[in-house]
Amino acid sequence: MDGAADRLAPVLRAVRAGNGFEEALEQILQIVRLGLVPQGERLPAERELAERLQISRVTLREVLKVLQDEGLVESRRGRYGGTFVRVRTEGPDEAELRRRVDRTDVEDILRFREVLEVGAAGLCAAHGLPDEQAERLREALAATQDAPLADYRRRDTLLHLTLAELSGSPTLAAQYAAVRARVNELLDCIPLLVRNLEHSQNQHAALVEAVLEGDADGAREVMREHCCGTAALLRGFLASPVL
């Protein structure tokens, strides 16, 4: 499995026959919103997507047509063609951000996120990671450390998704991918703070160290603190009238 496939593993899974179109649309939307395929880059080939989702290519093309109509992807022809995630030059305005927050149960999302993240960290540490998986986790951590500010949240998302996937529970990974998409919508409403990112990186490093050392209690505690820090920022900014 190549690197791109690894990134998509927490999200892409076989859909149920009765809701093939809807579930496939949900999963590909998550891929786009989580930044698993960055803006300007190409989605996997139709054949690969159809095989992994276990849907027909006709159904897949219907899904991609919806995404194209919504301005999220674009189709390009030719030798290097395919379906590409569109580059968005403008973010939502303040009114849209407020609507987004107002229709979201922030506390519910933050609590559910914490349960999943703490559980995933503990499972990875308790079960131990084979060398290949341990290296994937190290690489995901390194990518956040080298990230330019504009790409930090995408790489941060990939680190957390990797941990969820390595927990060994596909159900947990799928649920985390869904809740992380909601968390990212909230994070888009607040600024990137360099001081907070430095603190987060220290926590990331401590978390990965605890997981690789098999310290389940330590991994859970670091992750709990990490989630609480993010929650505090979100509560502070989202309760402010500046939005």
Average pLDDT of the chain to the nearest whole number: 87
pLDDT higher than threshold 70 for residue 2:
no
C-beta of residue 97 within 8 angstroms of C-beta of residue 123: no
pLDDT higher than threshold 70 for residue 240:
no
C-beta of residue 157 within 8 angstroms of C-beta of residue 146: no
Which long-range CB contacts under 8 A does 15-23 form with residues at least 24 apart?
15/53, 15/54, 15/55, 20/53, 20/55, 20/59, 21/55, 21/59, 21/62, 21/63, 23/53
Answer with the residue of higher pLDDT: 191 or 216. 216
pTM score, whole prediction: 0.75
Name the pLDDT band for 87 (thresholds 50, 70, 90): confident
Residue range 119-166, pLDDT digits in tens: 999 999 999 999 999 999 999 999 999 888 889 999 999 999 999 999
How high is the pLDDT of residue 105?
84
pLDDT higher than threshold 80 for residue 77:
yes
* HEC string for the chain: CCHHHHHHCCCCCCCCHHHHHHHHHHHHHHHHHCCCCCCCCECCCHHHHHHHHCCCHHHHHHHHHHHHHCCCEEEECCCCCEEEECCCCCCCCHHHHHHHHHCCCHHHHHHHHHHHHHHHHHHHHHHCCCHHHHHHHHHHHHHHHCCCHHHHHHHHHHHHHHHHHHCCCHHHHHHHHHHHHHHHHHHCCCCCCHHHHHHHHHHHHHHHHHHHCCCHHHHHHHHHHHHHHHHHHHHHHHCCCCC
How high is the pLDDT of residue 42?
93
Residue range 12-21, pLDDT digits in tens: 888 877 678 8
Q: Which whole-number Å values give the CA distances from 172 to 3, 112, 135, 162, in the listed order? A: 21, 11, 21, 12
How high is the pLDDT of residue 243?
37
CA distance 139 to 226: 20
Residue range 163-186, pLDDT digits in tens: 999 999 999 999 999 999 989 988
Stretch 198-217: mean pLDDT: 96
> How much of the chain, in percent, has pLDDT values that exceed 70?
89
How high is the pLDDT of residue 96?
64
Answer with the residue of higher pLDDT: 79 or 5. 79
Residue range 9-45, pLDDT digits in tens: 778 888 877 678 878 888 888 888 888 888 899 999 9
